[in-house]
Structure 1
């Protein structure tokens, strides 16, 4: 049986790196793509053997998607069995405070990048289906819209919508499509700030709110389950699971809590 292969964006750190290590340890040929070349080198350095590939990719560049996937497929024996659309950035703060460039950048990377990746990888997944998979990394911020998170929430709600649409569109090709929705995960994203006009670290907001930070390995496990499973949404961590439950069964209560909250909730 041919070795299965997986292409992971944002593979230079965080969730992308954890997913790469998880799949490599289980015998998959792993490809990581990022703009962080030093980070990709560290990821590949942690993977034993030669079943690995790395290439620079800005997910906003549609043409580069085609060439990167072609290069990876050639290295992986001509096949791609799964794609993880993981690359993303965080943006927070009042919408009135955000620069237009910050809005555009978040939309382009977090949402357009997912659409470009899905479009570019489709011929490969169609060829290796049934059993191929597209996994899009969403967020707890794609479950409920929180104050101070309008742009980021828009992208993550959008990622879930893309996943649901393609789940219906690609079912005839035998391609599994799923979204993975983490809560607060131990990744470098927590070390940043909400926007250019804020110097408050996201990590400190999370701690002040008394919320848990889930190990990144839990997300890697959820991605593995999504590639091999049949569900549409995979919620990772207590925050995301509680939010999904409450939004489904107690939407009025969730709305009241969010409207009374001065601190944003999300990944």
Structure 2
């Protein structure tokens, strides 16, 4: 019997890389895909060439995504157990201070990339019993995050897509979930030139390895149906308060935390 197989976008660094390391160590065949093709090839050699397939992929390119999935499905012996849509980019600051082209690119990668992956992967997921999709969302999809406006908007969209496909694809036997962390210590967060006030006030309490463990747990969850995963006590508390508090209080607390 062939090994279970996971296809990961954004696998060169951060959460994607940590997830690849964890799943490879636990016996899965791992697809390492990223625009940084040299980095994923180096990671393939590090993890063991027999455990991984690596390739260049810009998730916003639908044709390239479809070709990469077909290649991986064949290399995996005709299975795709888990698609992890992890690739994402970020820009922070006042909305008007960010070039329009950058806003568009955030939408291209963070949302269009997830749609591309889900659409292209469906035929392979349907042919794999117990197949799953996990999308990388964000706590900024709980309440719109000032200084992260376009990023937050894409994560709301990913959350909505996840909820819809979780219901739609149940008829195919496919589970669709997402992960919504607060700030994670990854290059994407650490390399922000001028961190927004919310980063300093909330802190960066999660590591990429923390999120990888949540992805692993979600992939092996067999109890009650669960769509959204909130890593860490801080994220869980934030989600709970947002559900229970009135709208005006949610807006006020977000305003205070973000420094606006």
Classify the TM-score, shorter chain.
over 0.9
Counterpart for residue 239 of structure 1: 234
CA RMSD, Structure 1 to Structure 2 (Å)? 1.7
Retained in 2: the 8 A contact 1:79–1:128? yes
Return the TM-score normalized by structure 2.
0.93
1:25-75 CA deviation, whole Å, 9 max, x = no partner? 111111010001232123223313602100100011100111101111121
**Alignment match of 1:250 (pick from 245, 248, 252):** 245
SS in 1 for 2:19: helix
Unmatched tracts of structure 1, length 5 or more: 194-198
Q: CA contact under 8 A between 1:6 and 1:28: conserved in structure 2?
A: yes
Tell me how far apart the structure 2 counterparts of residues 262 and 87 of structure 1 sit (CA, whole Å).
25
* 1:190-227 CA distance string (max 9 Å, x none): 2233xxxxx4146x862x31524212111111111222
How many angstroms apart in 2 are the aligned matches of 1:16 and 1:218?
A: 12
Separation (CA, whole Å) in 2 of partners of 1:26 and 1:49? 15
Which residue of 219, 223, 227 corresponds with 2:219? 227
Unpaired stretches in structure 2, ≥5 consecutive residues:
none
User: CA–CA distance in 1 between the matches of 2:74 and 2:213?
Assistant: 27
> Does the 8 Å contact 2:145/2:258 carry over to 1?
no
> What secondary structure sits across from 2:47 in the alignment?
coil
Partner SS, residue 167 of structure 2: helix
What's the secondary structure of 1:170's corresponding residue? helix
The structure-2 alpha-carbon separation of the partners of 1:251 and 1:20, relative to structure 1 and needing over 3 Å to count, comes to: farther
> Is the 2:162–2:177 Cα contact (8 Å) retained in structure 1?
yes
Mapped pair 1:259 → 2:219: no
Indicate if the aligned counterparts of 1:185 and 1:213 stay in contact, CA closer than 8 A: yes
CA shift digits 1:68-87 (9 cap, x unpaired): 01111121112111100000
Partner of 1:115: 115
How many residues align structurally? 256
Contact 2:41/2:55 (CA < 8 Å) preserved in 1? no
